[in-house]
Amino acid sequence: GWQASMKSGSLSYILPCNRLPVQLMSQVRVYTSSGQKKDLGSEDTNGSARGETPHKVETGQDTANAGQKQSSPKQPIQVKVKAVLKKREYGPKYTQNNFITGVRAINEFCLKSSDLDQLRKIKRRSPHDDTETFTVYLRSDVEAKSLEVWGSPEALARERKRRKEAEIKYRENLFRNQRLLWEYKEFFGNTKPRSSTAAMFFKGPGKVVMVAICINGLNFFFKLLAWVYTGSASMFSEAIHSLADTCNQALLALGISQSARTPDPSHPYGFTNMRYIASLISGVGIFMMGAGLSWYHGIMGLLHPHPVESLLWAYCILAGSLVSEGATLLVAINEIRRSARAKGLSFYQYVVQSRDPSTNVVLLEDAAAVLSVAVAATCMGLTSLTGNPYYDSVGSLGVGTLLGTVSAFLIYTNTEALLGRSIEPEQLQRLTELLESDPVVRAIHDVKATDMGMSKVRFKAEVDFDGRVVTRSYLEKQDIEQLLQEIQQVKTLEELEAFMLKHGENIIDMLGAEVDRLEKDLKQRNPDVRHVDLEIL
């Protein structure tokens, strides 16, 4: 038989054969960065040294082999030593090596720009496309400087509180401040760059909207006179239609001007969606003002018919309206064709995808206007021939139905755009293939590309980088002979740690440079991609 004896740190086996008792032992030495070492699990190979003797059960065979066991030489025991670097405890909040920009240092620590001149300046890779490097400061240096300036953390906290209260008071008095800025408008006009908002209304969608506003405003005036003179329900619907178009296109002009605003901290991605918001409100306005009033007037004409006066002037005004609305429609069609050709899309795809909501609204409103003029003229002609006023009321209902259809389409397309729809699968596949074909990328996951409107795409993906390729790219930029000499000079644990920390940080910087390169390639080969978020997997 045999018996196993369990001890702390060791395990002994006594076997009932002619084999020697074998005792396993593990020993781990922990090395700190200061070169000291500690024995964690060293166990004595002689159990009797602790005053413990393992129990044995002797048999006849054990007695016969006793002499052989005593005369056999002991085999040397090989101990495998494992060197472990002592883990450094950073604590729940560690900011000693954090970098901070000059703007944050001034705002968060209540410093002046002259205070930063005395601190260490570090050049780091810039996150912005227009600059390669920018200056940062060590957060620990900034904190020490703030304590030197303000004397104590309590004094710094009081200053922060005072500035916060001043900021809140400034926001409360924002209206008064804006009025003061308006009084000094002439002075700021000489110092601030001239706005390019006005130039937007002389080309592209802005030009189309302004032409439509002028023409529809004149049409509303003359149609209103014709309705007052004739009392025709169809002419009333046409006048309401022109008024709705004029108001909606004025709203589009406001959306175009607001979309040109530069991004601010509250809206970091800009205001381009203002065009879709204005178009959405315009669609609702067409439904409420145009379709609603036309239906109401048509139903009232059916319930309470009344004879229609001479329609000669109404026909003349409708003819002029047809010409003017047709001219505006041609302007919108030419603009959409030009924009669709530049994007490589068909006319239908450009309209359905609502690439340019402002021009789409003008196109659909003018197309509906031309058709509604034809419907109104036909129904008024039937009323003149038959003397039956019901045809005129039916024409009003037809114009209202046409406007309701246009408004429903505008509401649907602009809502889809505001919800953040994905780009076309073909374009997404091209972006994916561009990333996967790069040697530094192993795989990409969770790819999302959102159309932010006005030909702006936000691309996001989780990227599995090949660390070997990144390291090789780093080595290609180093002096290999000098690097080899540094490796040969490493003799102690402190030197090894310093070597690894130095080149490890450089390799991480190289990985960041590779991310910047991929983002730049995506933007250059796909101009629609404005924002790229590549997350390291």
The tens digit of pLDDT for each residue in 460-475 reads: 999 999 999 999 999 9
pLDDT at 47 over 70: no
State how beta strands 29-31 and 83-85 pair.
Answer: parallel
Question: What's the pLDDT score for residue 11?
Answer: 41
Mean pLDDT to the nearest integer, 367-394: 84
Average pLDDT over residues 521-530: 88
Q: Which of 256, 219, 258, 204 is nearest to 366 (CA)?
A: 219
pLDDT of amino acid 309: 63
Q: What is the CA 351 to chain-centroid distance, rounded?
A: 25
For residue 207, name the pLDDT band (cuts at 50, 70, 90): confident
pLDDT of 501 strictly over 70: yes
Model pLDDT for residues 404-459, shown as the tens digit of each residue: 888 888 888 888 888 878 888 888 888 999 999 999 999 999 999 988 877 788 99
CATH number of 425-536: 3.30.70.1350
**Rounded Cα–Cα distance for residues 274 and 252 (Å):** 9
Q: What value does the mean pLDDT take over residues 43-54?
A: 40
**Residue holding tokens 């702006």?**
456
Query: Could you tell me where in the chain the CATH 3.30.70.1350 domains are found?
Result: 425-536
What is the CATH number that goes with domain 197-419? 1.20.1510.10
Domain with CATH 1.20.1510.10 in the chain: 197-419
Q: Which of 34-38, 285-289, 425-429 has the lowest mean pLDDT?
A: 34-38
- With a pLDDT cut of 70, the percent of the chain lying above it is 75
Tens digits of residue pLDDT in 152-195 = 989 999 999 998 888 888 777 776 666 666 655 544 444 444 44
* Region 92-188: CATH code: 3.90.530
d(CA 326, CA 166) in angstroms, rounded, equals 57
Sign of CA dihedral 61, 62, 66, 68: positive
Highest mean pLDDT among 70-79, 120-129, 155-164, 324-333: 155-164
Which whole number is the average pLDDT over 131-141? 83
Q: Tell me: pLDDT of 234 over 80.
A: no
Burial (CB count <10 Å: 0-12, 13-18, 19+), residue 142: buried
Give me the sheet containing 83-85, strands edge to edge: 37-39, 29-31, 83-85
For residue 133, what are the CA distances in angstroms to 62, 273, 471, 507?
Answer: 81, 32, 22, 17
Domain with CATH 3.90.530 in the chain: 92-188
Q: Is residue 73 within 8 Å of 61, Cβ to Cβ?
A: no
Residue 84: the pLDDT is: 61
**pTM for the predicted model, two decimal places:** 0.61
Contact (Cβ atoms closer than 8 angstroms) between residue 369 and residue 241 = yes
> Which tokens is 280 given?
């959405």
Q: What is the pLDDT of residue 17?
A: 44
Angle between helices 467-476 and 493-525 (to 10 degrees): 100
375-408: b or e for each residue (b if 16 or more CB lie within 10 Å)? Answer: bbbebbebbbeeeebbbbbbbbbbbbebbbebbe
Give me the sheet containing 529-536, strands edge to edge.
441-451, 457-465, 529-536
Token duo for residue 373 = 């003029």
Six token digits for residue 508: 């991480």
